[in-house]
């Protein structure tokens, strides 16, 4: 049985308030002994692989986006058996309520949440504002690493189709809305790779034709929490021009920043069909004969690809 959903004014306006919890809610749940029976598990997921070790929310376990969630050999996520083993080791069962938080406005936490969703984990929520907000509010931290009792997690095959787009899917999607969440320099193609690292970036710069540029961090307020429903609507319905019922694909460089936007579109604004293109620019910008637009204009769909 999943944990009660938080009720507050800000969340109530979102399409799926059950996908967020506030720092107050989590602190109260901790106080109430929520972690004692395995029904609620807190997961920290950061960009920096050692940040959890410097101090984390009491009782939280760590999941690293790269070493835990990605397959070590193939550019793909872990399989059903791998995910089941990971979840069980972290004390997570199939019916556990999982609250994920992390650094950088939950950028990596949203990515971990997206991977949990690929496996159909039912109740997985983000801590609004993430690690930075928790710390800014002076809440408890510990370096003590919990040793959870193993969870019971079945081997569930990943179901990519509803929320994950591959390159071919994006080609077939052209003509429908795309959101590019990278920096303006990456969008225009002014920057194709990280300076001094030509071999590590993409061979071509620019964006996927017709993609709207909404850098991911614009969905976050100064304290790292998501912006209000009204602000998000101004951004995605107003500026990006999305309309109710649209099918949307979001992308960035490797699919992490766009997970943050995917969460906002799917759960906060309620778009039913939003997919994250995790191949993103490190695939598109290296792929042969895919259409690319350079500069600040969105560009149009080339006739050839249809």
Told to check if 47 binds another protein by CB under 8 A, we report yes
Given 115, 124, 252, 264, the catalytic residue: 252
**Contact set for another protein, span 49-68 (CB under 8 A):** 49-51, 53-54, 66-67
Residue 232's nearest CA partner among 179, 165, 273 is 179
Pick from 81, 194, 203, 305 the residue near another protein by CB under 8 A: 194
Minimum CB distance to another protein smaller for 197 or for 288: 197
Told to check if 145 binds another protein by CB under 8 A, we report no
What span, in angstroms and rounded, lies between the C-alpha atoms of 101 and 57? Answer: 9
Rounded (10°) CA dihedral 14, 19, 23, 28: 110
Residue 4 exposure: Cα atoms within 13 Å on the Cβ side: 9
Query: How many angstroms separate the Cα of 59 from the Cα of each of 27, 225, 229, 234, 264?
Result: 11, 22, 31, 38, 27
Read off the tokens for 266.
């799917």
Residue 34's nearest CA partner among 53, 47, 21 is 21
Minimum CB distance to another protein smaller for 104 or for 125: 104
Pick from 33, 138, 195, 245 the residue near another protein by CB under 8 A: 195
Read off the tokens for 147.
């040793």
Window of 82-90, 150-158, 193-201, 264-272 that interacts with another protein by CB under 8 A: 193-201
* In the complex, minimum distance from the CB of residue 117 to another protein, in angstroms, rounded to a whole number: 22
What span, in angstroms and rounded, lies between the C-alpha atoms of 232 and 220? Answer: 9
Q: Is 252 a catalytic residue?
A: yes
Window of 182-190, 196-204, 218-226, 264-272 that interacts with another protein by CB under 8 A: 196-204
Window of 21-29, 41-49, 79-87, 159-167 that interacts with another protein by CB under 8 A: 41-49
Read off the tokens for 136.
């800014």
Residue 299's nearest CA partner among 213, 184, 239 is 213
Told to check if 185 binds another protein by CB under 8 A, we report no
* In the complex, minimum distance from the CB of residue 101 to another protein, in angstroms, rounded to a whole number: 14
Radius of gyration of the chain (CA): 19
The 197-236 contact track toward another protein, x by CB under 8 A, reads x--x------------------------------------
Is the torsion defined by CA of 189, 193, 198, 202 positive or negative?
Answer: negative
* In the complex, minimum distance from the CB of residue 129 to another protein, in angstroms, rounded to a whole number: 15
Give the position of tokens 């993103």.
280
Pick from 60, 63, 91, 103 the residue near another protein by CB under 8 A: 103
What span, in angstroms and rounded, lies between the C-alpha atoms of 9 and 153? Answer: 34
Window of 7-15, 47-55, 165-173, 240-248 that interacts with another protein by CB under 8 A: 47-55
* In the complex, minimum distance from the CB of residue 72 to another protein, in angstroms, rounded to a whole number: 8
Site of interaction with another protein (CB under 8 A): 47-51, 53-54, 66-67, 72, 103, 194-197, 200
């Amino acid at each position: 049985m999943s944990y009660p959903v938080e009720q507050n004014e800000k969340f109530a306006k979102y399409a799926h308030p059950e996908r967020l919890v506030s720092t107050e809610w989590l602190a109260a749940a901790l106080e109430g002994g929520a972690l004692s029976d395995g029904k609620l598990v807190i997961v920290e997921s950061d960009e920096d692989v050692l940040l959890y070790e410097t101090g984390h929310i009491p009782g939280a376990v760590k999941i690293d986006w790269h070493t835990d969630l990605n397959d070590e050999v193939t550019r793909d996520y872990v399989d059903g058996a791998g995910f089941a083993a990971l979840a069980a080791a972290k004390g997570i069962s199939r019916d556990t309520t999982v609250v994920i938080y992390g650094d950088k406005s939950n950028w990596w936490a949203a990515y971990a949440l997206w991977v949990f969703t690929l496996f159909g984990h039912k109740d997985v929520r983000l801590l609004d504002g993430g690690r930075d907000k928790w710390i800014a509010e002076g809440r408890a931290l510990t370096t003590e690493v919990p040793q959870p009792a193993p969870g019971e997690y079945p081997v569930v095959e990943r179901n990519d189709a509803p929320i994950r787009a591959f390159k071919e899917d994006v080609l077939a999607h052209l003509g429908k809305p795309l959101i590019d969440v990278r920096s303006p320099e990456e969008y225009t193609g002014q920057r194709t790779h990280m300076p001094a690292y030509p071999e590590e970036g993409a061979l071509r710069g620019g964006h996927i034709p017709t993609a709207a540029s909404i850098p991911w961090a614009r969905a976050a307020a100064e304290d790292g929490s998501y912006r209000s429903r009204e602000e998000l609507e101004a951004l995605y319905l107003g500026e990006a021009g999305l309309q109710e019922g649209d099918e949307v694909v979001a992308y960035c460089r490797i699919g992490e920043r766009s997970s943050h936007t995917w969460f906002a579109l799917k759960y906060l604004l309620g778009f039913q069909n939003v997919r994250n293109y995790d191949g993103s620019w490190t695939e598109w910008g290296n792929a042969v004969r895919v259409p690319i637009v350079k500069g600040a204009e969105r560009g149009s769909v080339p006739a050839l690809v249809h």
